[in-house]
Amino acid sequence: MKSEPNQPVSSPFANVAEVEKAALTRMEKVISDLQHNMGSVRTGRASIHLLDGVTVEAYGAPMPLSHVATLHVPEPTLITLQPYDSSQINAIEKAIRSADLGLNPSNDGKLIRVPVPALTEERRKEMVKQLHHMAEDHRITIRNVRRDVNDALKKMLKDKLISEDDDRRSHDTIQKHTDAFITKVDSAVKAKEKEVMEI
């Protein structure tokens, strides 16, 4: 049942299609966030994304590494950082060292070299555990999106903005999206786990 044009609409959504679109958009953001987070999990290969979470105390404020240096991967086991301002070189090196990534940077006054050592079996297992936590957090977020959207649908039904059939159909659609996105989380994490365990 549609609302009358002059009836106040208390739902942020005009119809079921908008609700479903909002759910999809939010679930896609969860997957992007997961992929971004997994980029900082080390594999046996060097990647500038290993340093994504590292912040440097520069000019009185914490800044991401990419704002204070150019990062390169000249070879599979080495990351280099060229600071924009050479007076920041020690602060950058210290930030990488204290980021608990198991990396040991060194500098020659101009360039910071970060050798990426091969992962030990124990470290690989720790990283797989970390990936499983990440996956669970993102699964929960997807389920929370489902809950929020289902609450919005209930409210729309209560306010007689949608019919019971619309409500039922939309609940089914949202559940399908939820299952599909949880499967995406699982396969993304499995692929990353395989990369981490590869020697």
**Tens of pLDDT along 69-100?**
999 999 888 999 999 999 999 999 999 999 88
pLDDT on residue 199: 62
Residue 136 has pLDDT above 90, yes or no: yes
Question: Could you tell me the pTM of the whole model?
Answer: 0.70
- Candidates 25, 23, 28, 37; CA nearest to 132 is 37
- pLDDT band of residue 155 (cuts 50, 70, 90) is very high
Please, which pLDDT band fits residue 102 given cuts at 50, 70 and 90? confident
- Across the chain, mean pLDDT equals 88
Please give the pLDDT value at position 58.
Answer: 86
- The band of 123, judged by pLDDT with boundaries at 50, 70 and 90, is confident
As a whole number, mean pLDDT of residues 28-36 equals 94
Q: How many Cβ atoms from other residues are within 10 Å of residue 194's Cβ?
A: 11
Instruction: Name beta bridge partners: 115.
Output: 78
Residue 171 or 6, more confident: 171
Q: Select the more confidently predicted residue: 127 or 187.
A: 187
Q: Is a pLDDT exceeding 70 seen at residue 189?
A: yes
Cβ atoms within 10 Å, residue 121: 9
Task: Taking residues 125-150, report their average pLDDT.
Answer: 94
Instruction: Pinpoint the alpha helices (H) of 40-98.
Output: 89-97
- Name residue 47's amino acid: S
